[in-house]
Copies of this chain bind each other. A is one copy, B any other.
Amino acid sequence: MFTHQKAPQFAARPEGPDPAFARKFQEVLGGKWGEMTVAMQYLYQGWNARLPGKYKDMLMAIGTEELSHVEMIVTAIDQLLDKAPPMSADDTTGSTQAAEFGAANPQHTIVNGGGAYPHDSNGIPWSGAFVTASGNLMADFHLNVTAEMQGRLQVARLFHMTDDPGMKDLIRFLTTRDHMHQMQWLSAIEELKADGLDGLPTPEAFPLEEEFDEFSRVFIQASDGEAATEGRWASGPAPDGRGDFQSALIQAHGEHTDLAPGDPRLYGTNPLMETKGLIDKAKDALK
């Protein structure tokens, strides 16, 4: 159950107006790696967790914090859109204004009347497909690490695209929390291992006897880029402790299979002899 208080976790006060940056900042709100994604992802992982205790509780805590970040970003974008949507051509006498006019998101004014929405920097709606909650915490925590890295990368880039002190402060706060959250997920991965809950390869419970051992430590070279085998993924001890990495050129381990002709009732293109009788078969099928 959730409760809300009006005072924000961190207050951004952009000077604005800057509709072009408002459009750009939508990326970290409603983009694939934005705050909507991490808020929902952590909450769904938490709700679905079938292991009670520290991991589940931690997921609920961080998911709820990210929801508070959604709120901060929405409020910041609203303020960037204050007062100055360039609504007619005569606002564009200078080249900076012209640049802004072109770079703005028309839906910010036409659809939202000067407000943010759960869409990315090109106006594409946020999608539930961005959320992964697989039931396997080891696999999901690795995704969470990258989510915080992609997120920090994007706000770091945005830091260089604005001079607004309020926006810069908000970005500083966001990079800091992404820093913390990267460490949080990396620590949680170590803890999962230490607790014996999963390991490498994930999922560890699927038995290695079912694998084809001859393919399990081979880097397969399918390109002519010679440097590819210079990395440690192509020689030396493999992290599963069961042997050394090797490398090999890609090769075919089987013959090409000709597919069987299709059912005549599907009217696909079949081998000629089939095709010649197809009309009769189709007619028979119709009786």
Closest 5 pairs (CB-CB, A-B): A102-B102, A113-B135, A11-B254, A57-B225, A48-B115
CB distance from A21 to the nearest CB of B (A): 9
Q: Is B257 in contact with A79, judged by CB distance below 8 angstroms?
A: yes
Total contacting residues, chain A, CB less than 8 A: 211
Answer whether A267 and B153 are a contact pair too, CB < 8 Å, given A161-B87, A179-B211, A217-B180.
Answer: yes
Per-residue CB contact flags for chain A residues 7-32 toward chain B (1 = under 8 Å, else 0) read 11111010000001001100100111
How many copies of the shown chain assemble into the complex?
Answer: 6
Q: Is A1 in contact with B11, judged by CB distance below 8 angstroms?
A: no
Residues on B with C-beta less than 8 A from A221 are: 61
Q: Is A135 in contact with B266, judged by CB distance below 8 angstroms?
A: yes
Answer whether A1 and B71 are a contact pair too, CB < 8 Å, given A233-B58, A268-B113.
Answer: yes
8 Å CB contacts to B: which residues of A111-140?
111-140
Q: Is A285 in contact with B106, judged by CB distance below 8 angstroms?
A: no
Q: Is A128 in contact with B119, judged by CB distance below 8 angstroms?
A: yes
Complex CA–CA separation, A250 to B276 (angstroms): 35
Q: Is B142 in contact with A50, judged by CB distance below 8 angstroms?
A: no
Residues on B with C-beta less than 8 A from A233 are: 58, 183-185, 187-188, 191
Of B121, B190, B222, the residue contacting A4 (CB under 8 A) is B222
Which of A8, A132, A153, A218 has most B Cβ within 10 Å? A153
Answer whether A27 and B225 are a contact pair too, CB < 8 Å, given A4-B60, A231-B58, A252-B9.
Answer: no
Residues on B with C-beta less than 8 A from A204 are: 279
CB distance from A148 to the nearest CB of B (A): 8
Q: Is B88 in contact with A163, judged by CB distance below 8 angstroms?
A: yes
Of B8, B89, B210, the residue contacting A175 (CB under 8 A) is B210
Q: Is A5 in contact with B223, judged by CB distance below 8 angstroms?
A: yes
Task: Across the interface, name the chain B residue whose C-beta is closest to A214.
Answer: B176
